[in-house]
Amino acid sequence: MQVHSFFSLLCLFCFFSTVGALFGYGLIRCQFTSNHEVVYLEQIYLNKVLLIQYNSTLGKVMGYTEKSKEIADDLNKNPAFLRRRRKDSEKCITHMPLVMDVLSKPVEPYVRLRSVEAASSKHPAMLVCSVHDFYPKQIRVTWRRDGKTVTSDVTSTDELPNGNWLYQMHSYLEYTPRRGEKITCVVEHASLMSPKLYDWDPIHESDRNKIAAGTAGLLLGLIFLLAGVIYFQKNTTGRLLVPTS
């Protein structure tokens, strides 16, 4: 008996080390549907596969593998367990005003304008206006060239959900640079009183890169200088201890 359990322990170890990628996790979720219904879920996953879950709409536990089906059956026969889940489900409803409060407030996006390598051979240059972390989803991102709205050679992604109730989107402008022109990314969103303008400043960017390179160089120089000074001091103090004549 003891030998047997020892072996199964060993085998368990083998299993872990050869497969090497077991990842289990549990999730407790309140799902708010658009018609203001609430579903309370407790889920246990192993390697992204749902093994077992409690669903408040069903009011019971469901198993999705042979073993977890047995466990689910046992839990569903346990009134204390089910009572506890029902009590936890109510928390979703008491927390509902909190969620609604968050969802009623627009969140202002963080915008970054930068140049990227052109994707097509039509134009040599491309700008991307990245709009991050906004809520609600509705947004308008447009481009202006010397104040005039540009419609051609613009491509935009959809509003992409981050998964944390915030969204992001990216708009691309392909263009042929003209001397002295002003290119602007325009963002219109519920969080902003008026459209917010972001001007493209090519000189600024190259300046920033130069400053960054310069700072890195200076730091490296300082490190070498410091190392040199320490080395020099060590050598001279060592020599001073020995009388030369």
Ligand X SMILES: *[C@@H]1O[C@H](CO)[C@@H](O)[C@H](O)[C@H]1NC(C)=O
Minimum CB distance to ligand X, residue 43 (Å):
8
3-state secondary structure of 205: helix
Select the span of 50-58, 94-102, 152-160, 162-170 touching ligand X (CB under 6 A).
50-58
Q: Of the candidates 172, 76, 177, 160, which has an alpha carbon nearest to the alpha carbon of residue 125?
A: 177
Phi and psi at residue 121, to the nearest 5°: -95, 0
Pick one of 55, 156, 168, 191: the residue that binds ligand X (CB under 6 A).
55
Q: Residue 33 or 237: which CB sits closer to ligand X?
A: 33
Select the span of 54-62, 64-72, 155-163, 215-223 touching ligand X (CB under 6 A).
54-62
How far apart CA 17 and CA 9 sit, in angstroms, is 12
Contact flag: residue 96 with ligand X (CB under 6 A): no
* Six token digits for residue 66: 């042979």
How far apart CA 21 and CA 16 sit, in angstroms, is 7
* Six token digits for residue 232: 């020099």
Contact flag: residue 233 with ligand X (CB under 6 A): no
Contact flag: residue 75 with ligand X (CB under 6 A): no
**Residue 42 and residue 31 in contact, taking contact as beta carbons nearer than 8 Å:** no
Contact flag: residue 39 with ligand X (CB under 6 A): yes
Contact flag: residue 57 with ligand X (CB under 6 A): yes
Where along the sequence are the contacts to ligand X (CB under 6 A)? 39, 41, 55, 57-58
